[in-house]
Amino acid sequence: MKSRFKDFINKNNLLDNCKSLLLGVSGGPDSLAMLNLFCNLSKELNIEIAAAHLDHNFRKESAAEADFVEKFVEKKGIKLFRKSENLPVIIKKENISAEAAARKIRFDFFRNIIEKYNYDGLALAHHRDDQAETILLNLFRGTGLKGLSGIQAKVVIQKLNVIHPMLSFSKKEILNYCQKHKLEPCFDSSNEQSIYSRNIIRNEIFPIVENKINDKAREVISRNSKIIAAEDEFLEKLTIQKYKEIFKEKNDDRIIIDFDKLKKINQVLQRRLYRLIYNKLNDNLDDLYFDHILEIEKLISNQQTGRGIDIASGIRVEISYSNLIFFKKNNRQNNTVFQPKEIEIEETIKINEIYSIYSNILRKKEFSFNENPRQAAFDFDKLKSPLKIRSRNPGDMLVPLGMSGHKKVKDILIDEKVPKNLRKNVPIITDADDNIIWLAPYRISDDYKITEKTNKVLILKLKYN
């Protein structure tokens, strides 16, 4: 097993540009076997290793397992990083699945260690049986080719260089290795209970398949994953190329793509683009299922600006004219409240974390109308300065362009399908007397429109930060 372990590492170039490696060690058979193999090969591989153990406090025996790992690592003479987190509390607070919560705190833990102590990578002990279970689980979830390609030997996860050096071994081989080397690992009792999807696949589905259909089902599924992975890699390159073509703007919690260009792309690549964007915002594909992809497709088939849907992990998708916007809902809502501000001509004013506004004045003969909804033009001489920006107040109304009577701002936003929770964040531009001249970017006031008598034109441009 030692030689196969080394061959797998070398064949897949797992330790290229890697001089120091952090090992995730739970204390179970898989991670203990991996730790023991690395300890025996560290000099030969010219690699410095350390171990990291996170106690999730999800089971009553977890503290004792953490103590076991500490003693085991101490005997090996390597450094251990140990931490305790209350996973049940995090699940309730973040309102996410147990699997997603565990993954999040685990990778946050690993990342903090790697960044602080400058480790080159992270090693996790997923094996061939894990591979088969993951692929089947992803098949049921509807994750596409990406999910069916399974666990990769070398991959970047949440900006961490991660290797899986145990993928060529079955669970049976690992247990035999532990027994032969008297490692005496801990066993997670919850793995025997069919209360999680993965456990049902492991304990109920695979035994039937191996008994009735193919006793090497896990091996076959793992082998096929390599074929699928190669095809997925090819399609991923095409997807990245298309993403670059439709990309417009991005920050930490928002990505904007060209809606019109997206609609011209083949559906296969569209669906991959949704996953790519979700992954960029969420740092993983946790909790994103095919049902969410179908919801996005339903949204874009409607094509109405202002419409939006919530998908997974607090991410929302909205149509805004020629834009399709993906954003982290909580961050966006928390950061969009703004205080009233004055507009200074030919200055860019930051309204909030989403919008800024720029203004300038042109002579009538220099002006031409623009269909961009985020740009508005007014008869400057009709305006009483200074102009101001504020959020919506109860009872706000204006005379929309082309109409003779007033209409409530609330009704305009409802007509535009602006979600109720986002209406307070729509910028309202007023004159010095608080008369609304622009409900940005939806309606301008007919009272300040450009006419034949206009001499100077005020241009206001709403921009995404």
CATH of the domain at 384: 3.50.40.10
Q: Which of 213, 244, 269 is the C-terminal boundary of a domain?
A: 213
Q: Mean pLDDT, to the nearest integer, of 345-356?
A: 79
Cα–Cα distance measured from residue 302 to residue 324, given in angstroms and rounded to the nearest whole number: 12
pLDDT of amino acid 371: 75
Question: Does 355 score more than 80 pLDDT?
Answer: no
Q: Residue 412 falls within a domain, yes or no?
A: yes
Same domain flag for 177 and 248: no
Same domain flag for 256 and 195: no
pLDDT of amino acid 332: 46
Identify the residue with better confidence: 286 or 242: 242
Same domain flag for 259 and 363: no
Q: Which residues pair with 161 in a beta bridge?
A: 156
Q: Which of 333, 359, 381 is the C-terminal boundary of a domain?
A: 333
Cα–Cα distance measured from residue 325 to residue 334, given in angstroms and rounded to the nearest whole number: 17
Q: Mean pLDDT, to the nearest integer, of 455-463?
A: 87
Residue 62 among known ligand-binding residues: no
The tens digit of pLDDT for each residue in 316-342 reads: 999 887 889 999 875 444 445 567 888
Same domain flag for 243 and 363: no
pLDDT of amino acid 312: 84
Question: Domain residues for 259?
Answer: 234-333
Same domain flag for 64 and 186: yes
Same domain flag for 383 and 245: no
Same domain flag for 32 and 112: yes
Same domain flag for 252 and 205: no
Same domain flag for 28 and 87: yes
pLDDT of amino acid 208: 95
Q: Residue 151 falls within a domain, yes or no?
A: no
The tens digit of pLDDT for each residue in 229-238 reads: 999 999 999 9
Same domain flag for 323 and 369: no
What's 398's DSSP letter? E
Q: Residue 221 falls within a domain, yes or no?
A: no
Identify the residue with better confidence: 114 or 440: 114
Question: Does 96 score more than 90 pLDDT?
Answer: no
| Residue among 322, 387, 316 at smallest CA distance from 358 | 387
| Residue among 370, 373, 258 at smallest CA distance from 324 | 258
> Which alpha helices (H) appear in 361-458, and where do they start and end?
409-415
Question: Does 121 score more than 90 pLDDT?
Answer: yes
Q: Which CATH number goes with the domain that contains 301? A: 3.30.465.60
- Given pLDDT bands bounded at 50, 70 and 90, which one contains residue 245? very high
Q: Residue 153 falls within a domain, yes or no?
A: no
Mean pLDDT (the chain) is: 88
Q: Is the pTM of this model over 0.85?
A: no
pLDDT of amino acid 349: 82
Residue 379 among known ligand-binding residues: no
Domains held by the chain: number: 3
| Residue among 26, 6, 184, 182 at smallest CA distance from 102 | 26
Percentage of the residues of the chain whose pLDDT score is greater than 70: 95
* Tokens 């100077």, residue located: 456
pLDDT of amino acid 44: 93
Cα–Cα distance measured from residue 411 to residue 261, given in angstroms and rounded to the nearest whole number: 31
Q: Which of 279, 301, 333 is the C-terminal boundary of a domain?
A: 333
Q: Within 10 Å of residue 352's Cβ, how many Cβ atoms?
A: 18
Same domain flag for 261 and 282: yes
- Given pLDDT bands bounded at 50, 70 and 90, which one contains residue 346? confident
Residue 31 among known ligand-binding residues: yes
| Residue among 440, 148, 421, 454 at smallest CA distance from 285 | 148
Q: Residue 185 falls within a domain, yes or no?
A: yes
Q: Mean pLDDT, to the nearest integer, of 58-81?
A: 91
Q: Is the dihedral of CA 291, 297, 300, 302 positive or negative?
A: negative
Instruction: Tally the C-alpha atoms within 13 A of residue 209's C-alpha that lie toward its C-beta.
Output: 16
Q: Residue 400 falls within a domain, yes or no?
A: yes
Cα–Cα distance measured from residue 309 to residue 298, given in angstroms and rounded to the nearest whole number: 10
Q: Which CATH number goes with the domain that contains 57? A: 3.40.50.620
Same domain flag for 273 and 377: no
pLDDT of amino acid 337: 54
The tens digit of pLDDT for each residue in 41-55 reads: 999 999 999 999 998
Q: Residue 223 falls within a domain, yes or no?
A: no
Residue 28 among known ligand-binding residues: yes
| Residue among 61, 62, 34 at smallest CA distance from 51 | 34
